[in-house]
Amino acid sequence: VKRITVKPGAKFAAQMHLHRAEHWIVVSGTACITKGEEIFTISENESTFIPANTVHTLKNPATIPLELIEIQSGTYLAEDDIIRLEKHSGYLE
């Protein structure tokens, strides 16, 4: 479980995980999420599930920090289970 802060205007690099899924819960702010071909926005007290092997990214479109909780599940949860498809990132842990 991680608590993540995303700066205003910043985004995660597009990525995927082979062995783990992620559940993102917005604590405060707004997240613009790309999950596969789907693009949508979630706000405070809303969440989304990212299955393993799904390309995903997240952007904070607001002028205030985005706070979210990330819960990981799967057969392998180490940080090296990541395939980055971009090098752009702007988050704090």
The CA distances from residue 48 to 23, 25, 56, 80, 87, in Å, are 6, 7, 11, 22, 23
The CA distances from residue 5 to 11, 25, 37, 60, 86, in Å, are 11, 12, 25, 10, 19
Q: Is pLDDT of 92 > 70?
A: no
What radius of gyration do the chain's Cα atoms show? 12
Domain layout of the chain by residue ranges: 2-92
- Pairwise pLDDT comparison (15 vs 88), residue with the higher score: 15
Model pTM score: 0.88
Please enumerate in sequence order all residues whose Cβ is within 8 A of that of 74, keeping only pairs 6 or more positions apart, or say none.
17, 19, 20, 21, 52, 81
Per-residue pLDDT of 57-81, as tens digits, reads 999 999 999 999 999 999 999 999 9
Q: What homologous superfamily does CATH list for 2-92? A: Jelly Rolls (2.60.120.10)
